[in-house]
Structure 1
Amino acid sequence: MQIRFIDSIHQISAAHWNQLCPPDYPFVRHEFLAALEDSGCTSAATGWQAHHVVMHADGQLLAAMPGYIKTHSYGEYVFDWSWADAYRRYGVDYYPKWINAIPFTPCVGPRLLSKADTQTTELINAAAQALITESIEKNFSSWHCLFPDNATSTKLCEQDIPQRLGCQFHWFNRDYKSFEDFLAQMNSRKRKNIIKERRQVIEQGFVFEVKNGTDLTARDWEVFYALYRNTYLKRSGHSGYLSADFFQQLGATMSNNLVLINALQPTENRSHSIIAAALFVRDGTTLYGRYWGCFEEYQFLHFETCYYQGIDYAIANQLTRFDGGAQGEHKIARGFEPVLTYSNHWIGSSDFRPAIKQFIAQESVSIRAYANEARTSLPFK
């Protein structure tokens, strides 16, 4: 087996890369990673230099791991700022590091891509050793696998690469026939609160349109990016991690995986103006809430557009799960359930390794307790 690192997704053809991908998970596909790279969202200049692992045997591509050299920790959603700060205080460089992750995408999924007939354990062991060697040679402080599936995370643990826990909130479709059917499973107080929130949005004059990716035009993307950019500027003072070119390319190459929900308000001339929008990614079973933007803030409009409309869509299209994104205890009262997420971390420094391993172990106890406590607050009967 030959293992090497490539600094552009285009060093592997889309056909060869995608044959390693599961048939129904969009974020590891060549098209998604290429859109990030081609639009300049992932580059050395942005602190996301592509450095993918590829594994060959007998001249054939056997496996791959999407990876990046990082010079900061933005856009990862597994927070290691305290580790970086500890390194800084001791006069040691934490950056660069290497991560096996999907940029700006805290969605659990495959992180080692391989053909179905390959031995995953053997591949993970080989990849882990290659990453340790690469980290030592390139002076990476550490390498990290973010949001892998549980099976991959467990196999990394067997290689003494500790597992860290996180918690997200996902909605699950239990054969609901309508939003009202979903609400019927809730206790009376929570059900009334949601009905009240949705009614207030309608009373403000909003209507919603759902557009599949195949129906989106260049103008749709221009408006959505303006919404997205405006929201980032108001909240953080920068225009967001993603560019207009990224969204345009995604629309051209992955339209079947995209859903745009616009919130429109009547204008004086009886037409409708788009005030806010949420862009979702989907596959055959799951809806992923990914990107939001608005020109103006209105009471409950964010919840309606990003969550309730998403639930409506998932029910109508018989999707089994709605991943609403990272964080958000406010989702519990809306019927989103706590789900444990995983990451694994190899730390090169023998001085820091035991302390970080101990921190992860202690934190995991707290995360499990938090998830269990959150389950007691679910609104269901």
Structure 2
Amino acid sequence: MGRKALILVEGHARDNGLRYVKAAQRLGLHPITLASNPTDYGYLASERSAAIRVDTSNLDALIRTCSQLRQSYDVAGITGFSGIDESVYATVGKLCRYFDLQGPNPAFIERCCDKFFQRQLLADGGVPVPAYRLATNATDVERSAAEIGYPVIVKPAVGSGSIGVRLCCTFSELAEHTTHLLGGKHVWPSSPRILVEEFVLGPFYSVEIMGNEVIGTVAVDFSPPPHFVFHKTTFPAPLADDDHERIAHLSLSSLRALGLGWGPTNMEFRWTKRGPVVIEINPRLAGALEPQLVQLASGVDLITEHIKLVIGEECDLRRSHSQTAAARFLVPDRDGILDWIDGVSRAAAVPGVAEVKLYIQPETPIVRKGDFRDWIGHIIAVSPSLAQTETILERAVALIDWSITPLPALG
């Protein structure tokens, strides 16, 4: 039998893709990425990691490619990334079933990725969720918002990364965003289906889960509305012990309602006056640096442990230390051309800064979209306490500066 290989379906444009490649290599595996366009993931070329171009929306094509690889390699496992198209992870489940490998149940993944169906299952399972309605046209959207009451969140029923998600406080804002979603600017994988839901007030949190074990809770701050662009994440969230127990109970109730419980899951919720209300369940690892924060703060490497599950080994979720890690995302306040960005090396030299990373280079056009694609970089800090970590982060952020030339006015 040939060398042990880990097949990765698609990659990840930010950090998780590279971290999966390196974790696989540390475990003695040969990572092979199957992607519709491998050049979308720059780390594959920089790391000289094996990649094969294949239509990842075509299950039969993926089965043929995996079958060919099994002639040369001992394929130990298959996993992948949801990215913008969350159907990829369901496809991973189907491949695992076909080749009798460890993996998620594809039927449960598919129904979880449909946010309307997910809402129904959670509500039926007694899990608190915002009031919600499904709409397929502008009239439905307007009626749903009127029934729920402003302000409302309007978003695609299928998608990730906050793409197409907006807070609408007035009828005019609702009409504007509905036109955006239905007028050809938003790409729909199938017929348009819009989720209109109650905007619940309260601090926002993200819970990291592996199997049926709650690893911890991340506190999340957003950039200014009407969009929901992650601005800052902190692990562990500063919560009382009783609150952590309540979150763990809510997390496990949500898993049961959705039929999940294998591999990584990410639960997002707001802590409202009536208690925690689930906003969304993602049947995958979170993509906004949470795995890095968890590892820095606790020593638990979620990516490595996920790969162990994929290849049939026992994972180890024991914490080796206790610190506080936080990330600040660099988000521009205007569109234009990035002239320059400075201070990266100075910020990286601040004691306690774990990483400073830029996603774009000078002379890059910036057109904000109101989602994760607006990030131009991040800074991560870690220390023994929350107050110290926040001080380190603020000091490093203050050292970063950039200039953006506005785009020429049209007309």
Question: Where is the helix percentage greater, Structure 1 or Structure 2?
Answer: 1
**Higher RCO by CA contacts (8 Å cutoff, separation 6 or greater):** 1
Q: Into which bin does the TM-score normalised by the smaller protein fall?
A: under 0.3
TM-score where L is the length of structure 2: 0.24
Q: TM-score, normalised by structure 1?
A: 0.26
